[in-house]
Structure 1
Amino acid sequence: MSTPINVPTLYAIGSVVAGYSHSCGLAQGVALCWGANVFGVLGVGSIGGVALQPTPVQAGGVAFVQLVSGGYHNCGLTAAGEAWCWGWNAEGQTGIGSVGSPVILPQRVQDGGLRFASLAAGESHTCGLTAAGVAYCWGGNARGELGSDPGVIGAQRPTPTMVPGVPALSLIDGGTLHSCALATTGEAWCWGDRTSGQTGDGVVDGAITSPHLVSGTMSWAHLATAGSTTCAVEAGTLDAWCWGRGDQGSLGNGAFPAHSALPVLAGSLLLQGPALTTPRVDVGPASGAPGSIVCATTTLGTVLCWGPGGRGQLGDGTLTPRRAVAAPVLVGPPTE
């Protein structure tokens, strides 16, 4: 499918997130998931099978205000600030205090009394922000993506652990093996794997286990990361900038560099429009292909995407095999 399609459902879904082989939506507090039930990621009390349409997660009446998806796990946030997770738990990414068997029904994160204002998920780790802007992360730490153990790589954390050394944060997001966050002052901070320059501090090598400032003097309005690519929207100009892996066009600058350890301009997209409340850019894994898909909203409310193509990932109406699209293309309208 090379253009968006409407997902058949009786529910009015207000937001959608996606993992490696599944998608989930939120409809008036009810979490619904569909796709492959790998590691119990659909939250229906079993493992295996496929849900062809949105299926209610068996959350025991718990209502959610936010959903996030990692590779094969999901987490939901309640209005009271509680985090609940389910799915793959081999790295402790569900935060239930143990590492091992899949969690096939939502369980409350063992947060020690913490209350979160928002959640984010990487491939095998999860992070939460408190109302005060303090970040906590849990799960896999193969490349220091938790940011909570300076100098330590590989120490899994099955419960939330504070990320030290950063100011108050307004947003946090997770990639495959790295994390990035946006400070209330407009600074961007990243940590974890930087073998593709995805931490944006000018270095392509190894990993950093504590938060580092992204290079440059820009003040950021929004940030997102997935795979080994990070993108952000510059405050004021609303330009999109990206850093990290670029060989599949994920940097959006019209070229195919192997990587960039510094932010590069993806194009003046003017991401804020009359129908939008915040400028926004999103990054996601490219299904069945290396690199990351990046999409951004425009002043007209349209969507532009760039990165790997050829499997319909860009939504531009073509399945033509090609290496990648290194500059933004317009996503087509949905079909029935």
Structure 2
Amino acid sequence: MAEAEIYADSGSLSRKVVTVSAGEAHTLALTAFGVMFDFDFMREGDGSVYSWGRGTFGRLGAGSEVDRLFPAKVEFNSADTRGNVKIVQVSAGAYHSLALSDDGSIWSWGHNTYGQLGVNGENSLVPSLVQMFHELHPPTSITDHESITETETRLQISSIKAGGMMSLAIDNLGSLWTWGNCPSQDTLTENEFSLISTYTPIPIWNFHGQTVVKVSCGNEHIVALVTTGETHNGDNLLCYSWGNNNHGQLGLGDTEFRTTPEIIKKFNQKSPYTAYEVACGAFHTSILAKKDGDVSTSLCWTFGLGDNGQLGQGSGTNSLYPEIVEGIPENIWLISVDCGLFHTSVVSLEGYVWSWGMGNGLGLTESEDGDAFFPRVIPCNGLKYPYFKNPVQVACGAAHTILLGDNGCKIWSWGRGRSGVLGNGKVNDYFAPNLVLWPPLEQDFMENGNGKLVDNEKELMEEIDLLNSKLLMMEKYVMVLHGSVFGRPFEEDKDVLVSLRKTGSFDVGKEWENMLESCDYGELLRLEMFYGKMIAGVKDKMMKVRIKEMIKECLESSKSMDY
């Protein structure tokens, strides 16, 4: 999402997330920036940035390289500006991060080996102002700078995008700038693809008289949506691509690289389809497009590297042209798409999420289910709905996926959990969506279990530590109990009781039926021995009778079964 949104419903704006962005192993979330009225009070969203996940290279902006297991606020040094910093957009690259403030300034932090931070220096552990743009002028400005004021010549940025090792920005005149490890525009390297590393933003001169509206980039290629004329009217977008094309990720029908932007024919001026969203993985591309005149149906197109099923076209082959992803229902409107390293995800207006690619669409390198070559539905785990209510955006990291829903009040995550990438306070991998710990723990005021407001950080942390210790004790008890009954370790993704997983309540009768269907005779005998020992410790006579009846019924049923 290029701009922050202003919400007018109940609740604090500071808890509303307007956009999320996923890097290789970290995630950024941006809260709303604006003012709303709630009964007799005026609340203001401060445009704050939160980060979590792997801290290597300082990509979290936390002042260190320590991992964060749940969202924590990123602090900006307002001494570098004239007032408080209010952020309106964020973007996560592989190992670096970008933020755009409301005055058109860019902040950056993290990995900087290739100059992707826009500064001439080492990696940065905290956000720093990109001064280079303050020294540049729009490509169309006049050369006699002495005759115009600083305000008129200062370059204003309206949108940012971070890729693998490069960064992109669109200014308020619709011009595109690149820096970091970018595809070379030098025609002298025509016979061999090359990248140029620079911390100084370089303008892309090929769109004179046009406006760049959206842009995305992979490891070595760039795809942009550009107007046919000077202004954007909603339907006059063309799709351009350039850079490395060794896997067909430019969608131009071959594997030849391009030093300058070239129109993808499937989305040119004569095409009946108009692209409105674009996302780049490391070596593949995905585009959302609508048919001209149809405002209710859209399609997802993919091209490039497909060996792990990240194209969703039913095979592991590459595609040199944009092809429609089969398996997504017709007559739906897709609101967001993103590409991970080797997987892709989309979300519809109704809240259904589809993923495909490596690790059954999760992006995981180790998965018992293999790769997903067709889209698979991601259910809304733990809720009665198979969809996510009021979705906003989907974002993909290298091996994790983030879904922003409930109009920005809830964040779900799944995939690789190491280093706290999923933001749920744990480091486990999750194959189904789990809620990110949002609102963040350091919120000024939080409610405790008694409904009282707590503003003492020490008291709050003590309460959290107590809950964590209780949770750990419960997990150990479950492990011991499960091992005693079934003779093997507890596996969270497989052994959660069906009735608990689906309804949130425990149905004893239903679980006995499930055990009879799934357990072998040896397991049932171990179960009988376990409950035999348990009966000895039961004081209530009626309970003993009931337990004996249940065991008898189960054993009689098991003897009648064929094994």
TM bin, normalised by shorter chain, reads: 0.7 to 0.9
Which of 204, 207, 212 is matched with 2:323 structurally?
212
Structure 1 residue 239 displacement after superposition:
0.6
Which of 182, 202, 216 is matched with 1:107 structurally?
202
Note if 1:122 corresponds to 2:218: yes
Please name the residue that 2:287 is paired with: 181
User: Percent sequence identity over matched residues?
Assistant: 25
- The 8 Å contact of residues 248 and 256 in structure 1, kept in 2 or not, is answered as no
Structure 1 residue 96 displacement after superposition:
7.4
Please name the residue that 2:243 is paired with: 139
**Deviations 1:17-68 (CA, angstroms, capped at 9, x unpaired):** 1112211100021111111211011112x2x512122112211242211111
More strand by share: 1
**Deviations 1:65-117 (CA, angstroms, capped at 9, x unpaired):** 1111111100001222111010003x43xx67674431211110132424211
Please name the residue that 1:25 is paired with: 99
C-alpha distance in 2, partners of 1:4/1:266? 23
**Deviations 1:263-321 (CA, angstroms, capped at 9, x unpaired):** 10011464453xxxx63111122xxxxxx2110012262100111112110000123xx
Q: One-letter code of the match for 1:211?
A: P
> 1:247–1:238: structure 2 CA closer, same or farther, 3 Å change rule?
closer
Please name the residue that 1:79 is paired with: 172
More helix by share: 2
C-alpha distance in 2, partners of 1:56/1:139? 28
Q: One-letter code of the match for 2:237?
A: G
Please name the residue that 2:512 is paired with: none
C-alpha distance in 2, partners of 1:101/1:214? 34
Note if 1:264 corresponds to 2:357: no
**Deviations 1:164-184 (CA, angstroms, capped at 9, x unpaired):** 124211111100100010012
C-alpha distance in 2, partners of 1:5/1:302? 16
Which of 266, 284, 288 is matched with 1:165 structurally?
266
Larger relative contact order (Cα-Cα within 8 Å, sequence gap ≥ 6): 1
Q: What's the Cα RMSD here?
A: 2.1
TM-score (norm 1): 0.86
C-alpha distance in 2, partners of 1:96/1:160? 13
More displaced, 15-24 or 242-251? 242-251
Structure 1 residue 244 displacement after superposition:
0.9
Contiguous gaps of at least 5 residues in structure 2:
1-67, 79-84, 137-153, 228-235, 268-272, 292-297, 381-385, 443-563
Matched residues, number = 310
> 1:272–1:284: structure 2 CA closer, same or farther, 3 Å change rule?
same
Which of 105, 109, 112 is matched with 1:37 structurally?
112
Contiguous gaps of at least 5 residues in structure 1:
286-291
More displaced, 220-229 or 301-310? 220-229
Q: In structure 2, the residue corresponding to 1:123 is in which secondary structure? A: coil
C-alpha distance in 2, partners of 1:13/1:72? 22
Please name the residue that 1:65 is paired with: 158
User: Based on CA coordinates, which of the two structures has the bigger radius of gyration?
Assistant: 2
Q: In structure 2, the residue corresponding to 1:111 is in which secondary structure? A: helix
- The 8 Å contact of residues 40 and 102 in structure 1, kept in 2 or not, is answered as yes
Q: In structure 2, the residue corresponding to 1:75 is in which secondary structure? A: strand
C-alpha distance in 2, partners of 1:27/1:299? 25
C-alpha distance in 2, partners of 1:31/1:226? 24
C-alpha distance in 1, partners of 2:278/2:368? 27
Please name the residue that 1:223 is paired with: 337
C-alpha distance in 2, partners of 1:96/1:234? 41
- The 8 Å contact of residues 122 and 175 in structure 1, kept in 2 or not, is answered as yes
